[in-house]
Amino acid sequence: MSRGDGGPAGSGPDEDGASGDGTRDERYALTVEAGEEDRLDRFVADRLELSRTRVQRLLAEGHVTVDGRDARKSELLVEGATVAIRVPPAAPVTMSPEDLPLDIVYEDPHLLVVNKAAGMVVHPAPGHRAGTMVNALLHHVRDLSGVGGRMRPGIVHRLDRDTSGLLVVAKTDAAHHALSDALRKRHIRRRYTTAVWGHLSEPTVTIDAPIGRDPRNRKRMTVIDSGRPAVTRARTEERWHRASLLHVALKTGRTHQIRVHLAHIGHPVVGDELYGAGWERGMGGGSRRWAEELSRKVQRQFLHAMELTFDHPVTGERMSFTADLPEDLAAVASWARDEGR
């Protein structure tokens, strides 16, 4: 998902940095701008779209300095500080390719756009070491960008396991860095379709509330003062009996952002067991029966990445892709329209 805002000078490789083929060190000089003050490890991970584990390894090996001096991973950066990073070539990917179904809607020598199916994890993680989209990509693509690390090769942004829809994947390191930089600068447009419980107070709402890890449940995110800035815009497309179909755009991209923000304003995503379980039980009479039937029909969170627009990292061509609701969600929406009038 996108990280932060702005486009500080020196945010790409230095002129004598990597060639983009993954065989030489890459060097970065990042300037901390207003609003980006954060822990050193989080700042570097967000700006370079690297995993926190890899950034901490870079720090431990002395590859990161702040204003020319060594620094601890927990150091709090201030506006104007210069963070220099040397990133050695990524270790070869050792995960096993798997011949899994993969809906590729576009491909060229630099990137792919994939319409991810619900239920597929994007990259290996504890409990999901195989059967992921990365395993499928390694079967399809001989040389996948290693910028994301051994466990996330080619991955520029992610979707939750039970969220379907469009993702862009980098095939080369140069494309990966360019796309990650575009994502950070908010030059990549992502829109989602979701169904939520209830009806928004206005046709269009903007939710501006910081998101961070829930201190009471580390598996959840929550709106919290100490969190990171997050902005979501939602527009009602269809008004059903006791639910709504929305189009949602992300201005930032925090973990579970859409689900957390919509639950925060009292309209959790239908089928979201983490942030909206049992919401329909608060209704009465016929409304409750309708809501319980809708809940039974939705077998996973009703959230789909419907649109992806970006400039090609090599040609500069503006590219736009859309993906219709998959069959499971389209059937639910059709029922809700017919029964909700």
Which entry of 160, 162, 173, 272 is annotated as an active-site residue?
160
CA gap 267, 256 in Å, rounded: 14
Residue 293: DSSP 8-state: H
Tell me the β-bridge partners of 13: 28
Instruction: Please provide residue 318's backbone torsions phi and psi, each rounded to the nearest 5 degrees.
Output: -75, 125
If phi > 0 it is left, if psi is from -120 to 50 it is alpha, else beta; for residue 256 that is: left
CA gap 42, 50 in Å, rounded: 10
CA angle 315, 184, 190 (to 5 degrees): 75
C-alpha neighbours within 13 Å on the C-beta side of residue 37: 7
Q: Do the Cβ atoms of 4 and 49 come closer than 8 Å?
A: no
Instruction: Please provide residue 69's backbone torsions phi and psi, each rounded to the nearest 5 degrees.
Output: -125, 155
* DSSP assignments along 121-137, one per residue: -SS-BTTBSSSSHHHHH
Catalytic residue flag (residue 14): no
CA gap 57, 83 in Å, rounded: 16
Q: Do the Cβ atoms of 207 and 265 come closer than 8 Å?
A: yes
Contacts of 104 (CB under 8 A, 6+ apart): 112, 113, 114, 115, 140
Across 162-220, where does the E strand assignment appear? 164-170, 189-197, 204-208, 211-213
Q: How far is CA 113 from the centre of its chain?
A: 14
By annotation, the residues acting in catalysis are 160
